[in-house]
Amino acid sequence: SLVVTQKDQFKAMSRVLNTNVDGNVKVMYALTAIKGVGRRYSNLVLKKADVDLSKRAGEMTQDELERIVDIIQNPLQYKIPKWFLNRQKHRTTGEYSQLVSNAVDNSLREDLERMKKIRLHRGLRHDWHLRVRGQHTKTTGRGGRTVGVSKKK
């Protein structure tokens, strides 16, 4: 597309929400580099931020970036519907929020910890590195674990 910005203002890599966002990629897909932000969410955030979707990520101004970060972290204030978010009706706090970058990993860890602490069956399966969702494990999930019988001679 026709480059509208000046050459020196194009940022090859920006740092957004603790992640490196590639500048050469189209904005919508560049933002998906952030954990917790996928294509749908990125699309919606950019639309709410009034950013031209045909731009590349390097062409964004600082102002626009700040707006985007703000929207990502406070989705409900910018009229992003509750059902769009990845952490709905949080088990302890009851909040509706979108977890991003570190928060995603943290909350996963917390969930697993909680299950283990209560000695929930699910938690124990996670602990033992077994399948949690009721799959049959007799024949599947081998991944390099070969069971052999030695020929006794």
Partner 1 sequence: MDARNGYELADASIPKRRTFRKFTYRGVDLEQLLDVPSEEFMQMVTCRARRKFKRGLKRKPMGLIKKLRLAKQNAPELEKPECVKTHLRNMIIVPEMIGSIVGIYNGKTFNQVEIKPDMIGHYLGEFSISYKPVRHGRPGIGATHSSRFIPLK
Among 38, 54, 120, 135, binds partner 1 (CB under 8 A): 120
CB nearer partner 1, residue 31 or residue 99: 99
Sign of the CA dihedral with 81 first, then 83, 88, and 35 last: negative
Exactly one of 90, 105, 108, 109 binds partner 1 (CB under 8 A); which one?
90
In angstroms, give the least distance from the CB of 83 to partner 1.
Answer: 14
**Residue 94 lies near partner 1 (rule: CB under 8 A):** yes
94: left (phi over 0), alpha (psi -120 to 50) or beta: left
Other Cβ atoms less than 10 A from the Cβ of 125: the count is 16
The yes or no reply on residue 134 touching partner 1 (CB under 8 A) is no
Rounded Cα–Cα distance for residues 86 and 69 (Å)? 16
Nearest CB to partner 1, comparing residues 30 and 99: 99
**82 touches partner 1 by CB under 8 A:** no
User: Cβ distance 18 to 101 under 8 Å?
Assistant: yes
The residues pairing with 19 across neighbouring beta strands, listed in sequence order, are: 16
The two counts, helices (H) then strands (E), for the chain are 5, 2
- Which listed residue (15, 39, 82, 114) binds partner 1 by CB under 8 A? 114
With CB under 8 A as the contact rule, the residue among 8, 79, 128, 144 that binds partner 1 is 128
Q: Name the one range near partner 1 by CB under 8 A: 26-34, 46-54, 56-64, 145-153.
A: 145-153
